[in-house]
């Protein structure tokens, strides 16, 4: 990782609204405890007494975690046998050495602390005897998906008609459609259960009908650069670093299908989280559940795309990846050093699409950069390939704005950096 500029390092720990953070974190942990309590009868029926005891283990762990948060205790080592445990604990030692004291809940860099909270929740699951694959956020994610059915149907029906037209030889404006699908994929990110502290958050309308209206809320629109990148070499491998389950992953799948059908991409590689993360982030199980959910719909369009997507997976036109690095606390400028295998895998891509707020924060190292700092500068050397970040703003860090634009936005909407109403589509290619 490149050294944080001196002018920024002093702001590093103060770059986010900690009161909001303090309010939200215990709520998320409390909801985990509540969901575990409500699952008792179902789990006992399916897993017997061992399952019931496992739920008690999870409840006890998250209760302890909540107490540590509320009293601002120091962070403690992870105590399970996951493949990433040594990395987490080595980094805790590293941070303690750098800071001269052990990090604590509300006095340490937020990117690290927030990631640590979700890893501690997973630790509770890892300590179970038979529920080691249990997803404490599954109910919220399933509710978000089922509550988005109307929007899902609208988007899939549009895709179905478009694919039929393109493959039938009907002429279409590929460039205009590319912009439209990218913007739908962008605004699907408004559904984020970690921001709403796990409260119900479904997509009640499809962004397709809103793209033109929403365009003025995109503060940085680098789609011309993304389009030009895809035109350079013909169809290329495209990687999508996923964010949320629910409606958002539907927009990702539809974008992927459009890129293939329009011959802008030769293959799509999806990158999921290794375990349940930030409430609504996509795991491999969420990916599979989404396809199962779509296949259960009584719709010609749904049936068509699901069969098509299953074929993509079977013939490896679509590939699904998981990697521990996505659920570690490190900014992406440290990926090449800490997870070189993942960095080299991404380097095979012709375009990397990073979805959502957390991915953006990790791209720019969660530093309080001046908003006019060039996006490529804030990446601090990260760049296994050309990349674009599609992100609705939900945390107060952003780069790549023109001089004075941040001040203009502050006058227009004092909550513009955190309310999810404004967005960026930022492109960078260091090569």
Query: The pTM is what?
Result: 0.93
Q: At what angle do helices 149-167 and 247-261 cross, to 10 degrees?
A: 0
Distance of CA 361 to the CA centre of its chain: 10
Higher pLDDT, 274 or 431: 274
Distance of CA 386 to the CA centre of its chain: 19
Q: What is the per-residue pLDDT for 206?
A: 59
Residue 19, pLDDT above cutoff 60: no
Fold match, 6-126 / 138-428: no
Q: What is the per-residue pLDDT for 21?
A: 58
Q: Are 392 and 217 in contact (CB under 8 A)?
A: no
Residue 73, pLDDT above cutoff 70: yes
Q: What is the per-residue pLDDT for 371?
A: 97
DSSP β-ladder status, 387-392 and 423-428? antiparallel
Residue 18, pLDDT above cutoff 70: no
Residue 4, pLDDT above cutoff 50: no
Specify the CATH number of the domain 6-126: 1.20.930.60
pLDDT digits (tens, 9 = 90+) for 320-361: 999 999 999 999 999 999 999 999 999 999 999 999 999 999
Which stretches does DSSP call E strand in 290-421?
318-322, 351-355, 387-392
Average pLDDT value for the chain: 90
The share of the chain scoring above pLDDT 70, in percent, equals: 90
pLDDT digits (tens, 9 = 90+) for 117-171: 999 999 999 999 999 999 999 999 999 899 888 889 989 999 999 999 999 999 8
The share of the chain scoring above pLDDT 90, in percent, equals: 79
Q: What is the per-residue pLDDT for 199?
A: 45
pLDDT digits (tens, 9 = 90+) for 199-208: 445 555 556 7
Q: What's the fold here for domain 138-428?
A: Rossmann fold (3.40.50)
Q: What is the per-residue pLDDT for 357?
A: 94
Q: What is the per-residue pLDDT for 204?
A: 55
Q: How confident is the model at residue 16 (pLDDT cuts 50, 70, 90)?
A: very low
DSSP state of 55: H
Q: Are 300 and 292 in contact (CB under 8 A)?
A: no
- What are the boundaries of each domain within the chain? 6-126, 138-428
d(CA 37, CA 66): 16
pLDDT digits (tens, 9 = 90+) for 216-238: 999 999 999 999 999 998 899 99
Q: What is the per-residue pLDDT for 234?
A: 85
pLDDT digits (tens, 9 = 90+) for 358-389: 999 999 999 999 999 999 999 999 999 999 99
* Beta-sheet strand order (sheet of 218-221): 218-221, 423-428, 387-392, 351-355, 236-241, 265-272, 318-322
3-state SS assignment for residue 348:
coil
């Amino acid at each position: 990782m490149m050294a944080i500029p001196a002018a920024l390092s002093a702001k590093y720990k103060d770059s986010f609204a900690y009161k909001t953070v303090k309010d939200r974190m215990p709520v998320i942990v409390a909801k985990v405890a509540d969901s575990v309590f409500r699952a008792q009868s179902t789990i006992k029926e399916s897993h017997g007494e061992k399952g019931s005891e496992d739920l008690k283990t999870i409840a006890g762990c998250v209760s302890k975690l909540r107490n540590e948060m509320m009293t601002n205790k120091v962070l403690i080592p992870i105590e399970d046998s996951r493949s990433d445990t040594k990395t987490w604990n080595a980094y805790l030692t590293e941070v303690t050495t750098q800071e001269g004291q052990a990090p604590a809940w509300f006095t340490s860099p937020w990117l690290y602390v927030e990631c640590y909270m979700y890893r501690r929740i997973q630790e509770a699951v890892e300590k179970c005897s038979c529920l080691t694959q249990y997803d404490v956020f599954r109910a919220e994610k399933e509710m978000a998906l089922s509550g988005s059915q109307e929007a899902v149907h609208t988007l899939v029906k549009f895709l179905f008609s478009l694919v039929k037209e393109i493959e039938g030889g009907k002429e279409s404006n590929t460039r205009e459609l590319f912009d439209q699908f990218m913007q739908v994929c962008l605004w699907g990110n408004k559904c984020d259960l970690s921001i709403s502290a796990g409260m119900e958050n479904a997509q009640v309308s499809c962004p397709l009908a809103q793209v033109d209206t929403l365009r003025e809320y995109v503060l940085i629109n680098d789609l011309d650069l993304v389009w030009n990148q895809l035109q350079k070499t013909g169809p290329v491998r495209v990687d999508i670093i996923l964010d949320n389950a629910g409606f958002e992953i539907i927009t990702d799948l539809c974008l992927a299908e459009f890129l293939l059908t329009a011959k802008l991409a030769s293959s799509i590689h999806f990158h999921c989280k290794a375990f349940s993360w930030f409430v609504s982030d996509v795991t491999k199980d969420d990916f599979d559940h989404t396809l199962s959910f779509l296949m259960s719909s009584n719709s010609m369009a749904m049936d068509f795309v699901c069969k098509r997507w299953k074929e993509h997976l079977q013939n490896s036109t679509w590939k699904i990846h998981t990697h521990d690095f996505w659920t570690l606390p490190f900014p992406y400028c440290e990926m090449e050093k800490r997870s070189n295998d993942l960095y080299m895998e991404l380097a095979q891509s012709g375009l990397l699409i990073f979805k959502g707020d957390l991915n953006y924060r990790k791209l720019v190292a969660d530093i309080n950069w001046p908003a006019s700092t060039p996006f490529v500068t804030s990446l601090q050397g990260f760049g296994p390939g050309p990349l674009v970040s599609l992100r609705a703003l939900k945390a107060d860090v952003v780069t790549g704005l023109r001089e004075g634009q941040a001040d203009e936005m502050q006058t227009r909407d004092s909550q513009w950096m955190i309310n999810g109403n404004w967005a960026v589509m930022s492109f960078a290619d260091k090569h």
